[in-house]
Amino acid sequence: MPRQFDQPTQQNGAETGRDIRDGLSSEQVRDRQRAGEVNRDENRHSKPALEIFLENTFTVFNIINFLIIGGLALLYVVFENRQLALDSLGIVSVVIVNTLISILQEFRARALLNKARLMLTRSVHVIRDGGRQSIPQSEVVRGDVIEIERGDQIVVDGPVLQAEGLEIDESLLTGESLSIAKQPGDELLSGSFVLAGRARFRADKVGSDSYAARVTSMARRYKFDATPLQRNINRIFELSFVIALVVVATEIFLRGTSNLDDIEFIRRVATVVTALVPEGLVLLSTVIFAVGVVRVGKIGALVQKLNAIESFSGIDCVCMDKTGTITENRMTLQRIAAVDNAERAHDLTGLFAHHTPDSNATVEALRALPNGQNAERLDALPFNSARKFSALRLRLENGTLVTLLLGAFDVLSQRLPADQRRELETTFEREQLAGGRSLLLIELSARTDLDELRADKLPADARAVGIISLVDSLRPDVNEAFKLFQREGIALKIMSGDSTDSVNSTLERAGLHDLTERHISGPQLAALSNQESVAAAADTQVFSRLQPEQKLDLIRSLKKRYRTAMIGDGVNDLPAIKEADLGIAMQSGSSITREVSDIVMLNMRFETLPKIFEEGKRVINLVGGISELYLTKNLMILLLGIITLLFATEFPLTPRRAALISVIGVAMPVVFLTRYDKRTRSIRLFFRRLFSFLAASVTAFLAGGYFSLYLADMLPGMDHAQRQMIMLSVLIILALLTYLQLTLAENREQWKPYVFSALGIFGLYLFLVSFEFDFILFRIVTTFYEVEQIPAAHWPAILQASALGALLLFGLHQLRLRWLRRVQRREGIAEPIS
């Protein structure tokens, strides 16, 4: 348990004269609650409902659609043409449905994530009615006395009342990773966190009055931000949309303004422009990313940023701390090897453990020793990751003053005189202490001022008391997880603040002997030049005795070569976790580390990480597959518009028939693709895959489509509407064949759901074009999508044109795959292309 503050101190301000040991009374807390002086949790990780509605309604694509709708409505008023009214109504319905689904899906995802976040609700320790209580941060009231210690985040603003070696990091507020010492009277700002020591402070500004609440740009909340992949896909659409506008403007310029009252020309323009607005793709991409977040949550991790889903798929280097990550955050005292007096070494170790203000796994293990006598703590120097030790100055019951220092054996032993160092090395070897976590307890002169130790220098009269050996427990699944990473070709890096012996011993216990062959320590790394450090980061697998800033520098170096993930649990891992492409925190870690990470491991099972990465790849492949289907349809319509302009040919589609291709040829197949697709290939060569897919597919579409018009012209009694229906049928058949090409190329063992779904979707289309029913819903659908019955005599032409398109489709895709394999071999990518 954390040690209690010994000396009462008077608060300043409103609570002057009240002993801060008592804190607020229950009545005072109720008064403040009634007055609204509460740190209300406004759930900064969630968007408010109004923001969700506005962001999904006033998108750039909706605005474009609204402009088109307005134009069609205006032209309907001018020309009183029923087709224009139905076209505008169709676009309105698509916009409303897509927007509603997007809004509802985001609300659903928000609810699921908020439910998962309850597992991470931060508690704070307050002093009330003279006792220490743990309460949710949202229940803190103005005037509460709050206790903080290493790893805690400051949740409200207020002055320090008591402090013992308190050091604060305000990098989340200022951007500067500096350790700032705080004394009583100094102000603490919400959003900062404790690097070392502990303190009590008073909550003066709570809720919306706190610093972090006012600086809203600092709020780290869950957002449906576009991922890099989605932004690249959006850029493709924006480019194609600009090209479409250029095509339309060129056609108007070449043909003159006389065409502005041509209804078919107006409908052609609307078809080309609206077809290039990616409502469906943007919606489905967001839905799939959100579903991926939920699936990862079921595996055992909480995703805090949507972009993290995409990061999963590209990670090729995983860096991790040792303590609390590879091992469980639990240590056991193995033995104490005394230098002179074994009984005194045990007594002083127990004395230190029971009076230090620190509370961590090491101290908890040492508190298994008895507390031989009461003592008054006069001064304390809390542990931090930079100096690697902590110190105490105590007055024993008999009045004797004792000054003790406890820290890393390999660090402190080097600062002792040569004779003591040799004696310690002999003891270390005789007791066979290599492999565990070794601490050194040192007794200093009673007159030693702890401020003198802050420069990391030991006084000349320092005397070693004993070497303390601890062991930590391995996570049971760490070996299998490492093997899975290695099979996936993911590089592994161990970045620990522990000694080389301790790290190597842990890896050997985990059966990971290969990793111990290449290692380097923090002091050795510091002696290298910048260029040598970058090379060491790439070539070395185990780094020991690292400072937090060295972990940060290593991550920066590795990011130049890899997509890097950093896994940790402590404050010393925080800079590296923030810097990595993907920051992963363990649930058992410090609250601030969990707060700034991209994902939090909830079930603490290391073996779930490869599963999470696989889920990320699956999500990206789904988005990629959907992009290929949507872009094929959109690019085809754009090229039809360009061909119509260049060769003055008939444009074969209307806005609502183009929408039917989207529904039957893209949207329906996507439902089954989302349900059954299990592809987990890497996303390397993503855009070369995408553009080569588009080139092969669109070529087949255009060839089959225009061949169908050629065959249609050879049929007797052919009218304009039937020519369009023949080409529409061929394009829908080729769209479904494109869906099969995409899915069966990498899911051959699961062919049944894809083939049967394609046949079922085509059966639905065949039903619409082959029968006529006096049923209200049937008539609405066929009228709205301008579906006409196709005589049996026309089907041979449709099948012949479809056969030509299919031959081109599958043939060109085989050539495409061969080309991609050559690219892979040239670039040294080992994964198979299928």
At residue 830, the pLDDT reads: 56
**Residue 191 to residue 56: CA distance in whole angstroms:** 30
Q: Please, what is the end-to-end C-alpha distance for the chain in angstroms? A: 58
CA angle 742, 747, 750 (to 5 degrees): 125
At residue 217, the pLDDT reads: 36
**Residue 335 to residue 348: CA distance in whole angstroms:** 14
Structure tokens, 240: 């194609």
Scan for tokens 């040829």, then name that residue: 665
Contacts of residue 604, Cβ cutoff 8 Å, sequence gap at least 6: 475, 586, 587, 588
3-class SS at 7? coil
What does the chain come to in residues? 834
At residue 159, the pLDDT reads: 93
- Other C-beta atoms within 10 Å of 619: how many? 26
Q: Which stretches of 204-300 are assigned E, i.e. beta strand?
A: none
Q: Give mean pLDDT in consecutive 10-residue pieces for the chain, a chain of 834 residues.
A: 46 46 87 88 61 74 73 71 70 68 68 59 84 89 91 88 84 62 88 84 87 49 52 68 71 61 67 61 65 77 74 81 78 88 91 86 86 84 80 88 90 88 89 83 85 70 91 79 78 86 81 76 90 90 88 92 87 84 82 80 74 79 83 85 76 80 85 78 73 94 94 89 92 95 80 93 94 85 87 94 96 92 76 52
